């Protein structure tokens, strides 16, 4: 390769001219004049993240495809230098196709979060965190659920009791009694939650209902009368076991009032069981880690289905304005208007029969519009969205509903960047979307009104406050779910003969285990990116400890369990991640390698030239998984990507398909040693998961990829759209700040706001 090195040191102009000549002669027929691709030859654009040196080595080994290796070292170096600067590298692409901030609409999540906060802002909000159970009050009854005497108050970890023919507690007869469980449910992520209530007796479930919250919620009786049970099994069927199910949309990170009322009246037996199936989860008893004995206020969560947002760039964006989306917006606005009508007393203070009812409704409509628009209304706007609807002869209830629909379908609400403003109210709106996916709260609105959002330090002060809010926790948790591709962990089923005991309960516990780990690391004082990748512990409960060969104290729930550092390395070796990127009966170095390449190390991969299904029965049964993958991907056409994928995937071969550590595969010693070539051509020797974690923790490319992905999740735009050097500045600040994740997120929010202000001046 000595000739290649000499060529790279040649005068730049001559080198690039030679590279352009060679490219036009030998490469353009397959890759296009500007690397744009050629139909039926190489459809994909010629782009990537290799350095010039690494690209030159790759070209010399693999090009041209009809005669690999025939390109000389000098020509390979010249071609690499030319295409790298012309169209191959991210920098070259940015020059040819400058990225600009796009006008975006609200994403589905932003719409849901904004509406929930808009309505909740008209009264006190009470939220809590899980503390491990619900309040329970046991009553002696007289007649059908006629509570006669309270016998016991205590906290129950969950609702799953089989009383048989016995009394539930001392001091109550076995023939007729009732129990009420109440408190809060904390939703770990956004989505539709299914609930199932099983009993041969009488029972009702209330979730996210004012009736569930009791006196803890602000409400008046007229509002409460309109509410019904989430599941109603109140009328017994003679002691036969029954079950009722219901689906409830919930927003992650928030707590919701929950209540279960249960009674037995002369049936032979008594039992009650409350289960749920959270998004991406399996049916299980609602666990203590999702329950609290503290009260919460209810939230208005829109249930209207929306079309999926565009995620083709690796993060959700609100770019497509389709007929389906416009229809969903209209239906959702009508749904919210109905909610407002049903809760007029608590939201607007407009009680039936009050002499000032209409004025209260108009005041509510005006305030709702201001908060939805994220700024004060002009007099013309107030006339347009409030006054004109409350015309003479129009029932005030109808007028209010029309006003709500008008506001929630207005461009000022749906397209936050439409007005191209940079005043303090615009800054408040941008911060709320960046950190909460929502609208500004009272503190942010006040800061904007008082002109306290002009400097970077003022913005940083608000952002630091907002990051500690539960809504920020939920959004940051959503980022880690996306970064770790947990959407692919929805159906982790394994061969029960090969992996006995790995059932839905274990998978559900693994999700909680990962959530506990992320919470512990990210929300600790250090909030250390390195610990995220290099930690030598897992959070396990008794069931997981038994399955993964560890010991935990009985009855303690999830606790951190330390492992040999060679056997566990942060999120990279969490059993849920390892199991998600595995086959039904075996590990998958390819799936694991792709995950590490793209998500953790930030490398780009081309789609494979042809999809090849892995069929285990076509290989020699004596081969290890590593040997099978090596045989499958050995072709030159495959190794362009698999030269990167395979070494990373092989480094995790000490872990089987359910994430347990192993030393043998198919009765042979596991070989986890591999050589990984970085984007700049450096060769890193990997001997196992710990080496991968250490490399990722110290790699500038992995760190920058993390910063970039977090920025895109926050702003729904690429950092280069704000400023060409913004990613580099944020990465430098991240390093200077000891790789503190939460402070990085704060700086991402501040940088996005301040860069936007600069461009609008």
184 domain-assigned: yes
pLDDT (0 to 100) of residue 610 = 58
Averaged confidence pLDDT in the chain:
91
Query: Which range among 47-61, 254-268, 685-699 shows the weakest confidence by mean pLDDT?
Result: 47-61
* Residue 636: pLDDT band with limits 50, 70, 90: low
Same structural domain for residues 680 and 537? yes
Same domain, 630 and 718: no
Mean pLDDT value across residues 696-712: 96
Please report whether residue 297 resides in a domain: no
- For the ranges 416-430, 604-618, 746-760, the lowest mean pLDDT is seen at 604-618
Of the listed ranges 243-257, 464-478, 562-576, 631-645, the one predicted with least confidence = 631-645
Reported confidence tier of residue 57, pLDDT bands at 50, 70, 90: confident
Task: Write out pLDDT tens, residues 473-531.
Answer: 999 999 999 999 988 777 788 999 999 999 988 999 999 999 999 999 999 999 999 99
Q: Within 13 Å and on the Cβ side, how many CA atoms surround 550? A: 23
Torsion of CA 592, 593, 598, 602, to 10 degrees: 120
Q: How many domains does the chain have?
A: 5
Residue 206 φ/ψ, nearest 5 degrees? -120, 125
Q: Which of 424-428, 488-492, 507-511, 718-722 has the lowest mean pLDDT?
A: 488-492
CB 599 within 8 A of CB 43: no
Contact 650, 689 (CB under 8 A): no
Same domain for 694 and 705, yes or no, is: no
Residues 558 and 599 in one domain: yes
Is pLDDT of 737 > 90? yes
Q: Could you read off the pLDDT of 127-166 as tens digits, one per residue?
A: 999 989 999 999 999 877 678 899 999 999 999 999 999 9
pLDDT (mean) for 288-293 = 96
User: CA–CA separation, 66 vs 440, rounded Å?
Assistant: 60
Query: What pLDDT is stored for residue 604 in this prediction?
Result: 86
User: Is position 303 within any domain?
Assistant: no
**685 with 706, same domain?**
no
Across 234-282, the runs of DSSP E, i.e. the strands, are 242-250, 255-265, 270-277
User: Using 50, 70 and 90 to split pLDDT, how confident is the model at 221?
Assistant: very low
Domain co-membership, 622 together with 656: yes
Q: Are residues 63 and 86 in the same domain?
A: yes
CATH number of the domain within which 38 lies: 1.10.760.10
Output 6 or 490, whichever has higher pLDDT. Answer: 490
Answer whether the bond into residue 64 is a cis peptide, omega within 30°.
yes
Range of the domain at 182: 134-292
669 within a domain of the structure (yes/no): yes
Confidence class for position 747, pLDDT limits 50, 70, 90: very high
Span 536-543, average pLDDT:
96
At 376-416, the pLDDT tens digits run 999 999 999 999 999 988 999 999 999 999 999 999 999 99
Residues 515, 400 share a domain = no
What share of the chain has pLDDT > 70, as a percent? 94
57 in a domain, yes or no?
Answer: yes
- State the Cα–Cα distance between residues 670 and 663, nearest whole angstrom: 5
Q: Is the model's pLDDT at 113 over the cut of 90?
A: yes
Neighbouring CB atoms inside 10 A of 55's CB total: 23
Domain co-membership, 252 together with 320: no
The whole-number pLDDT of residue 750 equals 98
Torsion, Cα of 34, 40, 44, 47 (10° steps): -40
Question: How many Cα atoms are found within 13 Å in the side-chain-facing hemisphere of 738?
Answer: 5
**pTM to 2 decimals?**
0.89
| Per-residue confidence (pLDDT) for residue 5, from 0 to 100 | 46
The predicted pLDDT at position 2 comes to 46
Is 342 within a domain?
Answer: yes
Residue 722 has pLDDT above 60, yes or no: yes
> Is it the case that residue 217 has pLDDT exceeding 60?
no
271 with 169, same domain: the answer is yes
- DSSP assignment of 103-121: P-PPPHHHHHHHHHHHHHT
**What CATH number is attached to the domain comprising 176?**
2.60.120.1560
Give tens-digit pLDDT for 553-596.
Answer: 988 889 999 999 989 999 999 999 999 999 999 999 999 999 99
Q: Are residues 320 and 337 in the same domain?
A: yes
Query: 523 and 664: one domain?
Result: yes
Higher pLDDT, 310 or 758: 310
- List residues bridging with 260 in a β-sheet: 181, 205
- Residue 304: inside a domain: no
318 part of a folded domain: yes
Q: Is the pLDDT of residue 222 over 60?
A: no
CA distance 746 to 456: 11
């Amino acid at each position: 390769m000595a000739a290649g090195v000499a060529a790279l040191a040649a005068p730049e102009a001559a080198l690039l001219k030679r590279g352009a000549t060679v490219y036009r002669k030998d490469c353009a027929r397959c890759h296009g004049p500007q690397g744009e691709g050629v139909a039926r030859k190489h459809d994909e654009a010629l782009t990537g993240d290799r350095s010039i040196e690494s690209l030159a080595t790759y070209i010399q080994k693999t090009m041209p495809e009809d005669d690999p290796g025939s390109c000389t070292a000098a020509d390979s170096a010249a071609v690499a230098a030319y295409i790298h600067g012309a169209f191959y590298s991210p920098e070259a692409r940015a020059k040819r196709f400058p990225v600009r901030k796009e006008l975006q609409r609200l994403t589905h999540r932003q719409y849901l979060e904004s509406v929930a906060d808009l309505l909740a802002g008209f009264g006190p909000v009470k939220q809590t965190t899980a503390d491990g159970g619900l309040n329970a009050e046991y009553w002696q009854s007289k007649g059908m659920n006629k509570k006669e005497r309270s016998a016991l108050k205590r906290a129950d970890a969950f609702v799953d009791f089989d009383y048989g023919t016995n009394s539930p507690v001392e001091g109550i007869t076995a023939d007729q009694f009732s129990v009420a469980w109440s408190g809060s449910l904390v939703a770990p992520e956004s989505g539709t939650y299914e609930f199932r209530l099983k009993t041969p007796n009488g029972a009702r479930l209330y979730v996210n209902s004012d009736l569930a919250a009791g006196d803890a919620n602000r409400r008046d009786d007229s509002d409460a009368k309109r509410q019904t049970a989430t599941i109603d099994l109140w009328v017994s069927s003679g002691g036969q076991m029954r079950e009722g199910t219901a689906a409830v949309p919930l927003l992650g990170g928030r707590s919701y009032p929950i209540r279960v009322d249960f009674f037995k009246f002369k049936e032979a037996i008594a039992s009650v069981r409350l289960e749920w199936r959270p998004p991406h989860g399996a049916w299980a008893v609602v666990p203590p880690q999702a329950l609290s004995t503290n009260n919460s206020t209810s939230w208005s969560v829109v249930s209207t289905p929306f079309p999926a947002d565009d995620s083709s760039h690796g993060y959700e964006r609100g770019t497509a304005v389709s007929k389906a989306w416009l229809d969903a917006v209209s239906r959702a606005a009508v749904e919210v208007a109905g909610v407002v009508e049903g809760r007029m007393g608590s939201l607007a203070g407009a009680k039936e029969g009050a002499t000032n009812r209409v004025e209260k409704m108009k005041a509510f409509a005006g305030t709702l519009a201001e908060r939805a628009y994220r700024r004060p209304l002009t007099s013309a706007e107030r006339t347009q969205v409030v006054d004109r609807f409350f015309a003479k002869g129009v029932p005030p209830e109808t007028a209010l509903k029309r006003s709500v629909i008008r506001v929630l379908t207005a461009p000022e609400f749906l397209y936050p960047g439409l007005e191209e403003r940079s005043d303090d109210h615009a800054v408040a709106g941008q911060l709320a979307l960046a950190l909460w996916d929502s609208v500004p709260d009272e503190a942010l609105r006040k800061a904007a009104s008082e002109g306290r959002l002009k400097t970077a330090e003022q913005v940083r002060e608000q952002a630091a406050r907002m990051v500690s809010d539960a809504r920020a926790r939920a959004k940051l948790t959503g980022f880690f779910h996306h970064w770790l591709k947990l959407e692919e962990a929805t159906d982790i089923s394994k061969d029960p003969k090969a992996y006995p005991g790995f059932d839905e309960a274990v998978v559900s516990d693994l999700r909680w285990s990962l959530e506990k780990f992320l919470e512990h690391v990210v929300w600790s004082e250090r909030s250390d990116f390195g610990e995220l990748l290099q930690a030598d512990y897992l959070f396990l409960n008794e069931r997981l400890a038994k399955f993964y060969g560890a010991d935990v104290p009985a009855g303690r729930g999830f606790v951190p369990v330390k492992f040999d550092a060679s056997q566990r390395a942060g999120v990279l070796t969490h059993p849920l991640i390892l199991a998600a990127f595995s086959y039904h009966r075996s590990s998958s170095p390819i799936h694991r390698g792709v995950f590490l390449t793209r998500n953790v190390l930030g490398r780009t991969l081309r789609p494979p030239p042809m999809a090849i299904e892995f069929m285990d029965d076509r290989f020699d049964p004596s081969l290890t998984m590593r040997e099978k993958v090596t045989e499958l991907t050995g072709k030159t056409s495959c190794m362009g990507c698999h030269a990167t994928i395979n070494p990373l995937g092989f480094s995790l071969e000490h872990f089987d398909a359910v994430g347990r550590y192993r030393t043998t595969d198919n009765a042979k010693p596991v070989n986890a040693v591999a050589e990984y070539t970085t984007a700049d051509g450096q060769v890193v020797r990997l001997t196992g998961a710990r080496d991968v974690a250490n490399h990722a923790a110290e790699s500038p490319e992995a760190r920058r990829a993390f910063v970039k992905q977090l920025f895109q999740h926050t702003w729904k735009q690429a950092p280069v759209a704000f400023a060409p050097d913004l990613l580099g500045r944020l990465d430098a600040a991240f390093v200077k700040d000891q790789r503190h994740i939460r402070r990085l997120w704060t700086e991402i929010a501040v940088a996005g706001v301040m860069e936007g202000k600069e461009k609008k001046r």
